[in-house]
Structure 1
């Protein structure tokens, strides 16, 4: 496959290998020391961005299908039975430097590849629509066993999805993610500084 960044620049593996890794000046922490989930870490990072006026990005609430409601008082209603519905888009969205941000976060226990079954077709369709509108769309992928988090632009994910639909492998090799994605060093505040990666890739 031939890869290009969303800003039109062609991805050149050799250049990336000689580039210095993105450094994080703050104290490094490990998932094994904190027991935090990927979602909790992203939520903490988003709270940091919001509190410091960096970005306004939130987790989308999971839609509910309400089945039974009681009205003990005219002014109050109590939900007695409800079910979580499958979300039709991605987990997170918001605004950063005037740009629309939209992304999904996924984890795997695998150590050598990331299964594409972790994504739903409706999420792939949604990400394509965001890209069609020139939004910034990506996925954060965590390899739980090694505590590694990678930033992968949605354009690449769509390419791997199409490869699967055309009879190719049903997962993304970790080597592929390491080559075209960006590793995110884990920090303290924010825990997962994906905004720094956005600045780096999209020249913001």
Structure 2
């Protein structure tokens, strides 16, 4: 009976998440042009309390931005060729498309470098990330990996933020906040199901 082939990509475990929970400073490595679309992601990571540094030696981890412009495997290999030795990293593979429902193979399957702790795929078009389920899941994975159980979904504290903007009755604000919180829960369940399926 033939042996079951081992997966050639890194599987995130609890130990990885505990290590990542201590990370606070990141250095951005761009392996190609994104027209600045990755800036949104950088801002979101800063929004969870992390700081971008200007030198790789000052960082806790690397944020590798890898636009997929030809063969994804080749793009990833080229992006990982000249990384600072020994630095852990998050790899973000950016696919240029206007189709929010595009289907792409998981780039994490192309990664064998043990310094890559997490690989996610995102969609962008021109200068912006797309507002799509793929990007929501990618961000949820990054956030969960970096802050673990402290992940904040969009509905948290949203009621107070909506009220502070004015022009919204208490009932309307509550309905809006509830809907956004529900969307966050659905996203969390989706990520959990995907993670479970990958392990099996």
Instruction: Give the TM-score, by structure 1 length.
Output: 0.31
| More strand as a share of residues | 1
Task: Kindly indicate whether structure 1 or structure 2 has the higher relative contact order, using CA contacts under 8 Å at least 6 residues apart.
Answer: 1
